[in-house]
Homo-oligomer: A and B are copies of this chain.
């Protein structure tokens, strides 16, 4: 069984990092899948998905580490060509990657207690961000 769900997030313009664990868990329950996989995927080239302990300290630390690798203030070739000002957003998104895959065991996501699923929106303007949650497996 394959189930596709969409999630829409209203994001801010400064590396917004949003916990979507509850929504993913809700769709896993809704699917009835007891053994399988949940794939979280971000369409678009200025967002990404990963897991982290979702507390404001760790989230800010992640934001700063990403900014060390792809600072907002560098000169980016993308911006010279297109004037978007979001060259850093594209680089951050490509480095973090668009997908994670989480096993479903006994009807539950197998993420740890302190491990949340987060979408990172790197764009330099607020977005209505679409996220895909694909649930696949066997019903119990």
Q: Which of A53, A58, A69, A105 counts the most B-chain CB atoms under 10 A from its CB?
A: A58
| Number of residues from A at the complex interface, CB < 8 A | 60
Q: Does A25 contact B (CB under 8 A)?
A: no
Interfacial residues, chain A to chain B (CB-CB below 8 A): 2, 4, 35-37, 39, 41, 43-45, 50-53, 55-58, 60-62, 65-66, 68-70, 76-82, 87, 90-91, 93-103, 105, 110-112, 114-116, 118, 132, 134, 136-138
* Other A-B pairs beyond A2-B36, A51-B98, A136-B137, 19, CB < 8 Å: A2-B35, A4-B105, A39-B103, A41-B102, A41-B103, A41-B110, A43-B110, A43-B112, A45-B51, A45-B58, A55-B78, A57-B82, A57-B87, A62-B95, A66-B95, A97-B100, A98-B111, A101-B101, A103-B134
